[in-house]
Amino acid sequence: MNTQQFYINGAWVDPVSAGTIEVVNPATQNVIYQLANATSSDVDLAVSAAKNAFPHYSLISLNERVELLEDINALLIKRNDEIADAISLEMGAPISLARNAQAPSGSQHFAEMIEVLKKFRSSSTTSNGTFVRKEPIGTCALITPWNWPLNQIATKVAPALAAGCTMVLKPSEIAPLDAIILAEILHEAGVPKGVFNLIHGTGASIGNSLTSHKDIDMVSFTGSTRAGIAISQSAAPSIKRVALELGGKSAGIVYGKVDASKVAQQIVDSSMLNSGQSCNALTRVLVASDQYDEICKEIIQCMQALSVDMPQQSPNLGPVSNAAQYKKVLGFIQSGIDSGATLLTGGADMPSHLEKGFFVKPTLFGDVTPDMTIAREEIFGPVLCLMKYQELSAAIDIANASEYGLSGFVWCDDHDNAVNIADQLRTGMVHLNGAGLDASAPFGGYKMSGNGREWGAFGLEEYLECKSIYGGAKN
């Protein structure tokens, strides 16, 4: 594959200067290939190509954009298993998860954007006769993470293309193969030269060059809150739009007479999917004191039933994605032990049947208090915290005390009560009684979890500017 080149202005090109990044298989700890590492000169070339392509691409019709997205989506479906194999190899996703969720998420978001674009109207008229136009914002820098790589790329590339924007994509250097495959797909589908450009590199090497670039009109970033703050500061002097989807420390509240076994399974599914490496994953569970022992027992059983193994074996959990994250997660587990939380299952030792790789056992802590590090900081691994509460109001206060506000979960035997609790949570999303995500609904958070929204019509709006043309309507 084109790991040693960048896709700029409709062609695969060599970097301006030599430099590579080692990409490691987290299941084996072996280097699987060398990835080209961009410099600011490569950034300039990619941004220039996108800027030059904008005047033409921004004016193509909505029908042409719909047809283009449909062609892209058909190719994503055709190459699903190839994309899944790449994701599994690079970031350790179990192959079943990669084929049934990771890779198909790209097509899911393109399909949703096709339906949004079919209904989209770029202009309207006020009662006073003013035309209001919605126009593409311009040239965009898209920066994506390694945990759900194609998903996060698709939630940016699809609406940017739909809006009429041009772009430079910098995927995570940890898991870039799916981005390379997408570049091949966009080329085959006939995306005009310069509309989509792909470069690789670390945040340290090209992050500031890309996000501060004078010809970039918008930055869309998904990743850590720390990096999101740095990107906002870098972009501020040029007053470009910045959309951020950042960290989370999502809490779930169990309230009322619920089915303990069913709720426990949903809790484990919501926290352990993708080895806990999801920004919106459930990480804190608040349970009433009189229900705590029963819920705790059921969760332990569900956690201990999970398999941890090599990705090709289709386990419940593969490795965490990289060495730095592995060290961080083990550090949090030790912190939980040192702070006095009860280790109910799991722990920091390697699963006994595995000899190497970044594997972490599904880990459950009980008797966690709000002041503990594991209750406050984003772990981003297969670690779940159980906390007791006496009154519902206290549980809501604890859930809201986090600096994050991405997602939340409520389990309740009464629907109206569940909605009432959801209304009080300061988060961008709330799941009621195990309800799943919806690609047509807005995805994003409050507070330190970011700003702006992705997915569906809400995601498309992020890439549009509004223009008022006073007196534009005919008399």
Q: What is the mean pLDDT of residues 22-35?
A: 97
Round to the nearest angstrom and report the end-to-end CA distance of the chain.
Answer: 59
Q: Name the residue ranges covered by the structural domains of the chain.
A: 6-246+449-469, 250-438
Q: Which helix (H) or strand (E) holds 162?
A: helix 149-163
Per-residue pLDDT tens for 251-304? Answer: 999 999 999 999 999 999 999 999 999 999 999 999 999 999 999 999 999 999
6-246+449-469 matches 250-438 in fold: no
3-state secondary structure of 34: strand
- The answer to whether 161 and 133 have CB atoms below 8 angstroms apart is no
Q: For the whole model, what pTM was predicted?
A: 0.97
Backbone angles phi, psi at 238, to 5 degrees: -100, 5
- When the pLDDT of each residue in the chain is averaged and rounded to a whole number, the result is 97
Question: Domain 6-246+449-469 classified CATH 1.10.3720.10?
Answer: no
Per-residue pLDDT tens for 124-157? Answer: 999 999 999 999 999 999 999 999 999 999 999 9
HEC sequence for 322-336: CHHHHHHHHHHHHHH
Per-residue pLDDT tens for 191-240? Answer: 999 999 999 999 988 999 999 999 999 999 999 999 999 999 999 999 99
**Token pair for 273:** 């999917």
- The answer to whether 465 and 134 have CB atoms below 8 angstroms apart is yes
Q: Which residues pair with 464 in a beta bridge?
A: 136
**Token pair for 321:** 């994605």
Choose the CATH number for 250-438 among 3.30.70.100, 1.25.40.10, 3.40.309.10, 3.40.50.300.
3.40.309.10
Q: Which residues pair with 151 in a beta bridge?
A: none
- The answer to whether 179 and 151 have CB atoms below 8 angstroms apart is no
20-53 core/surface letters (b: 16 or more CB in 10 A; e: else) = ebebbbbbbeeeebebbbbbeebbebbbbbbbeb
Q: Is the pLDDT of residue 85 over 80?
A: yes
Structure confidence at residue 31 as a pLDDT band (50, 70, 90) = very high
Q: d(Cα 78, Cα 192) in Å, to the nearest integer?
A: 21
Q: Which residue shows structure tokens 């039933």?
A: 305
> pLDDT exceeding 70 applies to what percent of the chain?
100
**Token pair for 159:** 């609406």
- Count the helices and strands in the chain (H runs, E runs): 16, 22
158-188 core/surface letters (b: 16 or more CB in 10 A; e: else) = bbbbbbbbbbbbbbbbbbbbbbbbbbbbbbe
373-395 core/surface letters (b: 16 or more CB in 10 A; e: else) = ebbebbbbbbbbbbbbbeebeeb
Set 90, 112, 173, 245: catalytic member: 245
Among the listed ranges 360-369, 395-404, 452-461, 465-474, which one has the minimum average pLDDT value?
A: 465-474
Q: d(Cα 43, Cα 207) in Å, to the nearest integer?
A: 9
Q: Is the pLDDT of residue 439 over 80?
A: yes
Residues in the chain: 475
Q: Which residues pair with 253 in a beta bridge?
A: 286, 410
Which pLDDT value is given to residue 164? 98
Which pLDDT value is given to residue 242? 98
245: annotated active-site residue = yes
Structure confidence at residue 475 as a pLDDT band (50, 70, 90) = low
Per-residue pLDDT tens for 44-76? Answer: 999 999 999 999 999 999 999 999 999 999 999
Q: What is the dihedral of CA 234, 238, 244, 246, to 10 degrees?
A: 10
Cα dist. 472→131, 132, 244, 382, 469 in Å? 5, 9, 35, 56, 5
Cα dist. 95→90, 217, 243, 274, 454 in Å? 11, 38, 31, 11, 26
Q: What is the mean pLDDT of residues 24-46?
A: 97
Torsion-angle region of 214 (φ positive above 0: left; ψ -120 to 50: alpha; else: beta) = alpha
**Token pair for 461:** 């709006």
